[in-house]
Amino acid sequence: MNDKPDKTKPHKNKLKTGSDLSRREFLENTSATLVVTAVAPAAFGASSDGAEASPAVNGPSTPITLTVNGTQHSIEVQDHWTLVELLRDQLQLTGTKIGCNRSECGACTVLVDGEPMYSCSQLAVWMDGRNVTSVEGLASNGQLSPVQQAFVDNNGPQCGFCTPGQLMTATALLAANPSPNKEQVRDAMVGNLCRCANYNAIVEAVVSAGNQTGGVA
């Protein structure tokens, strides 16, 4: 009697492991697994990187008209959109940054009717009839505004992520107080965090802009 298995017949329900799994079989099984992994998320409504896909469902929306950097926009906004989402995702004004997204860091600061506000905590529907200025609206005819130039001259930016928000708060300050001293600048900009801790240079930049322009930011 021949005790050797007949290799011409497949062994059903037998899991091959270790030495009896050929390299070819391993690669074939691995490839199949990768294909399933890549296809499955799409079948179940998730992205291929494992993140849950956003449902393509429109929520309640409201038509609004607002002016952004001197240009009037009439747009239908979903009621849950924040102002920063409207600026970045709908109007493609990506200079305004999303930092903490909970009104703590100031990276998303813009001017609403001349007042600095965290755009991450302002709903887009509240902007109906309002005038919004983002960092893109500071330069004119290709020329930096005085406060922007002062930031460059005094090494105000480091990584640059918080710079747009810093510029907007500084612009509002100089409009209200043409020649602030260092203490007044620190008080006005306390809501804008710099994770690079470049505060001294930022304060110098704002003071410099006030001294050079008389507060015309």
The domain ranges of the chain are 60-137, 139-217
What pLDDT score does 58 carry?
76
User: Beta strand pairing status for 109-112 and 131-133?
Assistant: antiparallel
Q: What is the model's pLDDT at position 4?
A: 52
Alpha-carbon distance 176 to 197, whole Å? 26
**Buried b / exposed e across 180-206, counting CB within 10 Å, b at 16+?**
beeebbeebbeebbbeeebbebbbbbb
| CATH code of the region 139-217 | 1.10.150.120
Report pLDDT for 78: 97
pTM score, whole prediction = 0.72
pLDDT tens track, the chain, 217 positions = 555 545 444 434 333 344 454 545 544 444 333 333 333 333 333 333 433 333 334 789 999 999 999 999 999 999 999 999 999 999 999 999 999 999 999 999 999 999 999 999 999 999 999 999 999 999 999 999 999 999 999 999 999 999 999 999 999 999 999 999 999 999 999 999 999 999 999 999 999 999 886 545 5
CATH code, 60-137: 3.10.20.30
Q: Are 110 and 117 in contact (CB under 8 A)?
A: yes
> Do the two domains 60-137 and 139-217 of this chain adopt the same fold?
no
What pLDDT, on the 0 to 100 scale, is given for residue 213? Answer: 63
